[in-house]
Structure 1
Amino acid sequence: MTALLFIVFLVLLAIGFPIAFALGISAFTYLLFSDIPLMVIPQKMYAGIDVFVLLSIPGFILAGNLMNASGITGRIINFCNALLGHIRGGLGLANVGASMLFGGISGTAIADTASIGSVMIPAMNKEGYDVPFSCAVTASSSTIGPVIPPSLPMIIAATLTGLSVGKLFVAGIVPGLLLGVGFMLITYLISVKRKYPKRPRKTFGFVFKSFFQAFWALMMTVIILFGIIGGVFTPTEASIVAVIYAIAIGLWVYKELKIKMIPAILLQSAKTTAALMVLVGFANLFAWIMTVEELPQLIANSLLELTSNKFMLLLLINLLLIFVGAFMETIAALLILFPVLLGVAVNVGVDPVQFAIIMVFNLVIGLTTPPVGVCLFVASSIGGISLEKIAVAGLPYLMVSILVLLMITYIPEVSLWLPGLFYE
């Protein structure tokens, strides 16, 4: 029966079914041939989404869409260009910098790739950057978004295990900054080698003006993060505060958000939320079936039989997750594998918060690796080039991601130092 579950799931994925429906149909097929009543389908789906913290997800999605419609992308890009444009490969550096700042608002990599890529990829191409390089920088740097708070995958991870969302948010700051700095360094080195252009240095007054224009957008991240850390509001309340703040800034400060635009933004946010919640529901059903079949225990025992050495075990888990991330959507993989692998990691002495960051970071890498790297697909559609060319151009950035992953894995302080300051 377990074989049937996975065969149907893999076949549906291979023929192009959305992963949510692949999970749902494979679970339904399993139940049809078992003695378990079909009533468990709505029960387990509802149980998967009936979690208070998940209410923050539609709020953060709506806030991100509102801020994007308010002209935030352009202001962040202008500020990064003013700050970094005079350096060799400045547009590439600004691309990474904008992703770091925008990621602290959207919390998702795909939104980052689409919003920043639609502006930066044509601009970089116009100034003489290679198209594959422009797309690779955009797709790779967008993976910073799910690591720097607020992060939707981290909210899901906290929901699954009862970990503090605030702790996970804070734990992602240093890894996110390391990733951003690493991407900037590789962008600069490639730009120097290929003699990419640089812009005239801007005056201090111009830089300050561009910072002030982006200031209110950047404050959103500060309000969310320190509000949660300081115990002022819960993550769910923070998402509502973010929505109110986004509306206020869009309507009365930037004045690019119009009342007539809000219904369309609400509809788009509802569609995104609904798709995510269906995925969460079906993934919970799939994970429950795995539990009934005792697959989590089998996986855990198999890993522990291979080795009980903490460092070797973490290496095996990393290899497994990088492989899974290349074929499965981040949230779905997180829902199915995180509770299983967390138990294995904790068993050999890994801190749960550290492992949550390892898990999210691993799966985020999959967003830029074929064959299911969604950020590569978005960037390729904007740049008008093949997925293969972007994947090859993105190899240096993939190496940086793996290096940061190894640091997170084997140096616990990278992810635990800041939470230790704020929560202990």
Structure 2
Amino acid sequence: GYLMAEAGTPKRLVALSRAWVGWMPGGLALVCLGASAFFTTFTGGSGITIVAIGGLLFPALVSDKYPERFSLGLVTAGGSLGLLFPPSLPLILYGVVAGVLIEKLFLAGILPGIVTLLALGIYGSITGVKNKMPRTAFDLKGALSTLWVAKWEVALPIVLLGGLLSGALRIHEAAAFTAFYVLVIEAFVYRDISLHRDLPRIIRESITMFGAILIILATAIGFTSYLIQAQVPMRILDAMESFISTPFMFLLLLNVFLLVVGMLMDIFSAIVVVVPLIVPIATHFGIDPYHLGIVFLLNLEIGYLTPPVGLNLFISSYRFDRPVTVLYRSVLPFVGLLLVALAITTYVPFLSTYLTTWVDLEEIPAGELELGVPEEPLEAGGDTLDDLEGGDGDGITLGDLEGDIGEITLDDLEGDDGEITLDDLEGSSEDVTLDALENADEEATLDDLEGKGD
């Protein structure tokens, strides 16, 4: 993400988006949303997107006569749109803390992410038509040219997801692959990054961020263990059961709670502190773990924009030199639309769970599992340990017990009388007494139990 922000990636993405969707109603607004979502996905930080993409597009939006308040709200809201798309860093951190498969979490976020993009995109198009915004004429040759220039960056999510879903890359391998891929294309293909002048500074900046994340992860492991051992989630659940009886009510109150959390806490800290508390409670109410993760992150995404203390409001205020009170009014329509997208995502879990079924493991039918059954069945009358072992003393195996039948029934063990008695086990009709087992002075032996003649 730091490499892409320092290179010419923002400019190439804006040019690409403008060439392909600039001809549509509200084209430049759609360019802003698409470029912001793509950039946030790989940087993992909405603040970086506001500074990089917003810094490029806010002057362009104002120059094209888009209302300033709309433009401010658009670049501020666009900064957090990519958090639901793979391989967003919050998705990975949530998967680690919640103990769910990160590959499935990547898939779970795709459709809800598209819903949020559509909600804001429709609003942007309506605004463009209403204000008679100019459009860029579509030029296929020019569009293909911008695609060719940005082909290496456009290919990154395709290659990355293909590697993860095919099993060629694991999560930690994908992280290293992405960093190496971006370094190669920015330093050797586009030559935007100097290995001697720029790379050491970028490494220092990224280490500072990821060092903090590693500390958060270490804290998360210990904190989660403490909460579980102290039974904090169970105590909260006991308190909630008195006034929450349905999953609908639980999700409603969870959304309200998480919106407040998103306003007050950094997303990484919120994941560490809140996730261990809500996961057991959500499980009790039958909420799918991947659906819960997407609802959680979407709430925090909206919380970043929600007045009065949403973090992105202050970043935009600083970056564009506008009073934060102006940002409050600017983002309200976008917050309202994102809340609609949140309601749809929350109460239509199909959006979060459908794609996760694509990576479910295929079960092996029981009949196809070979157990290595021996060729010769167990002979009748073999009621000693040697007989059961097959006479070679190498242990009782499932094949020895099953023979060719494939199943062991009580009748096989009991004989014809339907009962298992010590007489059956001993091969004798005499009652078993303590004296018989002990032989008065001696300890019981296998011969005593088996019957000396059998």
Query: What TM-score do you get using the length of structure 2 for normalisation?
Result: 0.75
C-alpha displacement at 1:90, in angstroms?
2.1
Provide the rounded CA distance (Å) in 1 between the counterparts of 2:325 and 2:214. 31
Q: Is the 8 A contact 1:145 1:151 kept in 2?
A: yes
C-alpha displacement at 1:199, in angstroms?
3.1
2:242 counterpart SS class: helix
Q: Is the 8 A contact 1:408 1:415 kept in 2?
A: yes
Q: 1:164 corresponds to which residue? A: 101
Change (3 A) 1:405 1:228: same
Q: Deviations over 1:22-74 (max 9, x none)?
A: xxxxxxxxxxxxxxxxxxxxxxxxxxxxxxxxxxxxxxxxxx11122231111
Q: 1:233 corresponds to which residue? A: 169
Map 1:301-320 to 2 at 5 A: 301-320=238-257
Provide the rounded CA distance (Å) in 2 between the counterparts of 1:294 and 1:131. 51
1:149 to 77, 80, 86: 86
Provide the rounded CA distance (Å) in 2 between the counterparts of 1:248 and 1:65. 14
Q: Does 2:298 correspond to 1:361?
A: yes
2:13 counterpart SS class: helix
Query: What TM-score do you get using the length of structure 1 for normalisation?
Result: 0.80
Q: 1:111 corresponds to which residue? A: 48
Q: 2:136 corresponds to which residue? A: 200
Q: 2:178 corresponds to which residue? A: 242
Percent identity over the alignment?
Answer: 28
Structure 2 unaligned blocks of 5 or more: 362-454
Q: 2:65 corresponds to which residue? A: 128
1:300 to 223, 237, 250: 237
Q: Is the 8 A contact 1:101 1:218 kept in 2?
A: no
Map 1:29-178 to 2 at 5 A: 64-178=1-115
1:220 to 152, 156, 161: 156
Provide the rounded CA distance (Å) in 1 between the counterparts of 2:210 and 2:59. 30
Deviates more, 1:399-408 or 1:179-188: 399-408
Q: 1:254 corresponds to which residue? A: 190
Q: Deviations over 1:309-340 (max 9, x none)?
A: 11111111111111221111111111111121
Q: 2:331 corresponds to which residue? A: 394
C-alpha displacement at 1:209, in angstroms?
0.8
> Which is helix-richer, 1 or 2?
1
Provide the rounded CA distance (Å) in 2 between the counterparts of 1:65 and 1:188. 31
Provide the rounded CA distance (Å) in 2 between the counterparts of 1:285 and 1:387. 38
Q: Deviations over 1:165-207 (max 9, x none)?
A: 11101111111111111111011112333x1522330311001
Partner letter of residue 300 of structure 2? L
Q: Is the 8 A contact 2:216 2:272 kept in 1?
A: no
Provide the rounded CA distance (Å) in 2 between the counterparts of 1:121 and 1:288. 45
Q: How many residues align?
A: 360
Partner letter of residue 109 of structure 1? S
Q: 1:46 corresponds to which residue? A: none
Q: Is the 8 A contact 1:104 1:221 kept in 2?
A: no
Q: Does 2:251 correspond to 1:322?
A: no
2:251 counterpart SS class: helix
C-alpha displacement at 1:382, in angstroms?
2.1
Change (3 A) 1:226 1:391: farther
Q: Does 2:128 correspond to 1:191?
A: yes
Provide the rounded CA distance (Å) in 1 between the counterparts of 2:136 and 2:298. 36
| Larger RCO: 1 or 2 (CA < 8 Å, sep 6+) | 1
Partner letter of residue 398 of structure 1? V
Q: Is the 8 A contact 2:107 2:355 kept in 1?
A: yes
Provide the rounded CA distance (Å) in 2 between the counterparts of 1:258 and 1:196. 43
Q: Is the 8 A contact 2:93 2:268 kept in 1?
A: yes
Provide the rounded CA distance (Å) in 2 between the counterparts of 1:360 and 1:137. 20
Q: Does 2:249 correspond to 1:342?
A: no
1:224 counterpart SS class: helix
Deviates more, 1:333-342 or 1:271-280: 271-280
Structure whose CA Rg is larger: 2
Change (3 A) 1:292 1:416: closer
2:270 to 333, 338, 359: 333
2:207 to 243, 251, 270: 270
C-alpha displacement at 1:281, in angstroms?
4.5
1:306 counterpart SS class: coil
Q: Is the 8 A contact 2:233 2:280 kept in 1?
A: no
Structure 1 unaligned blocks of 5 or more: 1-63
Provide the rounded CA distance (Å) in 2 between the counterparts of 1:316 and 1:248. 47
Provide the rounded CA distance (Å) in 2 between the counterparts of 1:116 and 1:164. 31
2:4 counterpart SS class: helix
Provide the rounded CA distance (Å) in 2 between the counterparts of 1:247 and 1:290. 40
C-alpha displacement at 1:292, in angstroms?
6.5
